[in-house]
Amino acid sequence: MIDLANTGSIVKEIVEGQGYVLLPEVITKEEAENARSRLLQQAEIARKTGTLLTEGKHRERIYGLIFKGEIFELMVQHPRVLEVVETILGSEITLGGFSAHILHPGATNMGVHVDYPYWAMEPPFPAHPILEVQTIWLVEDFTEDNGAPFFAPGSQKLSCKPDIKQFHQIAEKITGKAGSVVISHGLCWHDTSTNTTQEPRVSILGNYTPKFIHPLEDNLYEVRPEVLEQASPKLQKLLRYRLKSTEEPIFKM
């Protein structure tokens, strides 16, 4: 039985157990609703200007979230989440990505996969050190019908590409309340499900890696310099903003 009040218990479940944990209502329902509303507004603006990134007919991505509202700054460095991430990866981590995923009505499964950097590598994948931890923020309720993710329990211990047949035999759908977050091992097989509702389903995906892994996303996309300057030291470190120096001839590591 997982003790959700105990970081060690959560970490053990992610590393040695199912490979994922749902932490309920880490932010308030109001904060989650604020995040969802802002994301849909940003998507509409980008749609009108022709700059929205789409995947097929029913999927959209929004990048540069940290510069689109304080709520996203809160989420990306939430202390409860980072405590788990840093216990797994160590304190020297970097942000591999932080973006929104919108599944519109009719969106089908994305495809079973492991997370970056594993999918960019040739198997068999190294079991240690762990190279990535993912977060999926529920900015609305995830239900049986709106595209909630499937995870294959224990698959992170196999250190291999997903076996589609095995995945469909063992995968479990993860539902939960708005404000919750799924924290998972990067090697745990997962996929989205079909959104059969009449409303878009929105989530925010975070990718955390050791600092020696090149980020998946450009974390300074649509940068607002004033946000960087006023950001907490923790966020600046996640963004690798303070790696460069104007006074030293080499990078400080």
* pLDDT tens-place string over residues 135-183: 999 999 999 999 999 999 999 999 999 999 999 999 999 999 999 999 9
Higher pLDDT among residues 250 and 22, named by residue: 22
Calculate ∠ Cα 207-14-59, nearest 5°.
Answer: 40
Residue 140 lies in a domain: yes
- Average pLDDT over the chain reads 93
User: Is it the case that residue 245 has pLDDT exceeding 50?
Assistant: no
Residue 248 lies in a domain: no
Give the pLDDT confidence score for residue 237 in this predicted structure: 92
Residue 28 lies in a domain: yes
Instruction: Residue count of the chain, please give it.
Output: 253
Residue 251 lies in a domain: no
SS3 72: helix
State the Cα–Cα distance between residues 64 and 99, nearest whole angstrom. Answer: 7
Residue 137 lies in a domain: yes
Residue 1 lies in a domain: no
Domain that holds residue 21: 7-238
State the Cα–Cα distance between residues 160 and 112, nearest whole angstrom. Answer: 12
Query: Cβ atoms within 10 A of the Cβ of 168, count?
Result: 12
CA distances from 13 to 3, 10, 110, 204 (A): 10, 5, 25, 22
Q: Residue 233: left (phi > 0), alpha (psi -120 to 50), or beta?
A: alpha
CB 96 within 8 A of CB 178: no
- Total number of domains in the chain: 1
Residue 243 lies in a domain: no
- CATH number, domain containing residue 88: 2.60.120.620
Query: Cβ atoms within 10 A of the Cβ of 221, count?
Result: 13
SS3 238: helix
Query: Residue 194: what residue type?
Result: T
% of the chain beyond a pLDDT of 70: 95
Give the pLDDT confidence score for residue 242 in this predicted structure: 67
Model confidence pLDDT, tens digit, residues 42-97: 999 988 888 888 888 899 999 999 999 999 999 999 999 999 999 999 999 999 99
% of the chain beyond a pLDDT of 90: 83
Model pTM score: 0.94
Residue 249 lies in a domain: no
